[in-house]
Amino acid sequence: MESISSGRAFGGVSRVPSDVKWRVPPSADLQAILSSGTADESVVHSRVRRLLERMHREGRLNSATSATDIGVVMDEIFPLPGQLDQAAYERYLDPTDRTMVYHSVRDAYTTPNPADRADLATAMQDAAATAQTVSTDEPGLRAVFGPTEWSTAQAGYRLINNRLVAISADIEHRISTDYNLDAQETFLGGWASFGDQHIHLLSTVVSDPLTPRSKVTLLHEAAHLADSRIDDHGYYGTPGFEAAEEAIKVNNAAHYEELPRRTWGISSYVGQTFTPGLTSSGAPLTTEEQIRAGGVQYYRKAWDAASDFDSLIKDVRRNQLDGTPLDGATVARMLEVSPLMDLTLHEQMVSPPEVTRLDITTSESIVRAMSIAKRNVPNVPNVMPMGPFLSTADEIAAGVSLAVDAAMAAYGGLLGDAARDRRLVDWLHDHYRNVYP
C-alpha cells in the first residue's frame, strides 16, 4: 500500500492541500433513506451535518462563506420532517462533481480503460528496466540497504523487474483502478495483493503513468508482489526513514523506491549513505524526533486500517447491489466499527444493515482524516511529556500519545469529542492488517 500524502510534499500543521474535498451522497440517496425509514431521521441528519461541517471546514461548500452557519444550511436542506430540498442541497453541492458528490461504488474498483493500457504497460516496462539497472549498482545498494542486506535487496530488485514485466502483459486481469476518485479522497496511491499478484492503482497513475511519480507507485506496489516479506514499515520521506535499521529497510517497499528515484531525479536523499540511527545531518535521532517518528507510524497504521475498512464496506455495498448475501463475520465487524465511526449501520431498523452511500462517504472521510492527522505530527507543538520516566522508551511512548492527540486536535477533531476520536484512532491502530474478518 502506498500513501500519496506521505513524505515532504505537504508540510505545516493542519495545512491541507487545496484539493481537499469531503464528499456527500447524492440528494436522491438521502431522500430514499429518509423515505424508506432505513435509519431514523435524526441519525441521517446528524451524519449529513458532520459531513457538511467537514466540507465547510475546508471551504468546499458552494455558496457558503466562512461565516455560514451549518445549522442554517441544514434547515434549508431539510425544511420539513422527512423532506430533503434538492434545490437547496445543490446550491451547496454540485451533483455532477465527483469530488463533491459520491457517484459510483462500481467505478471505484474496475479494470483500466483499454485506451489507458498501452502507456501503462510501457511505464511498467520502464520501471522494470530501472529495477534491473539498479540491481547491478552495488555501491548504491550498499548506500541505501547497508553492508549486510544489500545483496538481498539486489535479489529483491530482480524480482521486482520480473513482476512488473509479467503484470504489464496482463493488465486487464492484474490491475484495477478507481475512476470514482475514492483513492484521491483517501490519499491512497495504490495497494498490492501478494497472494493474488494484483495491484490496485490511483486513477491518475493509470491515466498518466509515464511520469516519475507514477512509476514510483508502480515500483512500490511491485515490491509487495516480489516477496511477501516486503511490507510497509514507514513511507518515503517520513521522519526516521533514512535512519531505519537494515533489517527493516530490506523488507520495506518504500526503501526500494530510493535508487529508482535517484535515477528518475526525484530523490529526497541525493547521494546520501543511509546509516541506521542517524538522520541525514549525521546526528542521532533526538528523543523528540523519535516521538514524532512514532506518532507518524501510529497514524500510518490507523490510516492503513481505516483504508482497509473503507475497502471492506465498499465491497459490501457492491455485494448488496448485486444481491450477494453477507457472511456473519462481516456483519459483526461492520457493527463493531459503526458506533466508533458514527456510521448508520448500528442505528438502522433493518437486519442485516444496508450499507448506504452515507456510510461510504463517512467512512472515506475518516480515512482522509487519519492521513491529514498523520501529516500534522511532524509539526504539532509540545510533544515532549512531563517526566520523570524510568526509561527513554517510556518517555517516547508518552510523547507519542501526546503527539497523536495533538495531531487530531490540529486537524480540528473528527467526532466532536477528543476522547471518542482517540478511541477510534486506537481501534484502527490496534487492528492494523486485521480489519477483514
The residue range among 146-154, 226-234, 330-338, 377-385 that interacts with Zn ion, by the rule CB under 5 A, is 226-234
Question: Based on CB atoms, which residue is closest to Zn ion, 258 or 421?
Answer: 258
Interacting positions 17-76 with Zn ion (CB under 5 A)? none
One-letter amino acid for residue 200 of the chain: H
Contact 202, 176 (CB under 8 A): no
> Which listed range, 227-235, 315-323, 412-420, 423-431, lies at the site for Zn ion (CB under 5 A)?
227-235
CB of 40 to Zn ion, least distance (A): 40
Q: Which of residues 163-222 bind Zn ion (CB under 5 A)?
A: none
Is position 1 an interface residue for Zn ion (rule: CB under 5 A)?
yes
Our CB check for Zn ion shows the closer of 43 and 160 to be: 160
From CA 215, how far away is CA 119, in angstroms rounded?
11
Task: Report in angstroms how near the CB of residue 56 gets to Zn ion at its nearest.
Answer: 33
Among 224-232, 289-297, 322-330, 397-405, which window interacts with Zn ion (CB under 5 A)? 224-232
Round to whole Å and give the CA distance between 356 and 374. Answer: 28
* Least distance in angstroms from the C-beta of 429 to Zn ion: 17
| Binding-site member from 232, 258, 347, 405 for Zn ion (CB under 5 A) | 232
Q: Write down the least CB distance from residue 69 to Zn ion, Å.
A: 42
Between 300 and 357, CB nearer to Zn ion = 300
Q: Does 101 contact Zn ion by CB under 5 A?
A: no
Closer to Zn ion at the Cβ: 96 or 434?
434
Nearer to Zn ion, 253 or 358 (CB): 253
Compute how many other C-beta atoms are within 10 angstroms of the C-beta atom of residue 388: 6
Q: Is 253 left (phi over 0), alpha (psi -120 to 50) or beta?
A: alpha
Q: x/- site string to Zn ion, residues 336 to 375, per CB under 5 A?
A: ----------------------------------------
Kindly tell me which of 171 and 253 has the beta carbon lying closer to Zn ion. Answer: 253
For the CB of residue 212, give the shortest distance to Zn ion in the complex, in Å: 18
Query: In the bound complex, what is the minimum distance in angstroms from residue 422's beta carbon to Zn ion?
Result: 26
Q: Cβ 230 to Zn ion, closest distance in Å?
A: 8
Closer residue to Zn ion in complex, CB, 232/364: 232
Distance CA 67, CA 62 (A): 13
- SS3 of 377-393: HHHCCCCCCCCCCCCHH
Separation of alpha carbons 200 and 315, rounded Å? 14
* CB closer to Zn ion out of 216 and 369: 216
182 vs 365: CA distance, rounded Å: 10
Number of residues in contact with Zn ion under rule CB under 5 A: 4
Closer residue to Zn ion, CB minimum distance, 222 or 341: 222
Nearest-approach distance from CB 253 to Zn ion, in angstroms: 4
Minimum Å gap between C-beta 104 and Zn ion is 26
Nearer to Zn ion, 2 or 149 (CB): 2
Q: Draw the binding track, 237-266, toward Zn ion (x: CB under 5 A; -: no contact).
A: ----------------x-------------
The piece of 160-168, 201-209, 225-233, 395-403 that touches Zn ion (CB under 5 A) is 225-233
- Minimum distance of Zn ion from residue 298's CB (angstroms): 17
Integer-rounded Cα Rg, in Å, for the chain is 22
- Binding residues (CB under 5 A) for Zn ion: these are 1-2, 232, 253
